Amino acid sequence: MPPASIEFGGREWVQEVERFEPGAIARTRAESARRAIETGGRKLTWRPCEAEHESGAHLPGCRKLYVPLDAEGASAAPYGFVFQLVRTSDNTLIWNFVAFGERHPDNPNNRTVYERAHKRLHGRYP
């Protein structure tokens, strides 16, 4: 993993996290994870996103963090953040926040965090 800061863009945060009602479990988990990330001191377990997923999501080079951050194993983390490594105009690398949501929703009508990330990066759902 390249050393890089983590950036949570305001517009992305509103669209991905604040779409949930205040106090909703998903929103509370995301807010708590963001605070932990931004204050540092916690080892983050970055995982690569599948470059090509059977759902059609195309996320090469993206990384994910399971939420809650301290979940023991993937099955204990129902939510996730997706980030993309980008180079800023001053040639700095940052992990840019792309999406938040359920990793594997029970409701087939809900989009996964990976489908949401695909839409943000490619302008349409897979």
Identify the CA nearest to 51 among candidates 125, 110, 114, 96.
Answer: 114
What residue numbers bound the domain in which 73 lies? 5-122
Q: Is the pLDDT of residue 63 over 60?
A: yes
What is the reported pLDDT for 75?
87
Q: What angle do CA 100, 105, 110 make, to 5 degrees?
A: 75
Give the mean model confidence (pLDDT) for residues 72-98.
93
What is the reported pLDDT for 33?
97
The structure's pTM equals 0.94
Confidence of residue 2 (pLDDT cuts 50, 70, 90): low
Point out the least confidently predicted range of 53-57, 58-62, 76-80, 101-105: 53-57
What is the reported pLDDT for 90?
93
Burial of 89-102, coded b for 16+ CB within 10 Å and e otherwise, reads: eeeeebbbbbbbbb
Cβ proximity of 97 and 9 under 8 Å: yes
Cβ proximity of 42 and 68 under 8 Å: no
Cβ proximity of 126 and 89 under 8 Å: no
Mean pLDDT, the chain, as a whole number? 93
What's the rounded Cα separation, in Å, for the pair 61 and 33? 22
What is the reported pLDDT for 113?
97
Structural domain total, the chain: 1
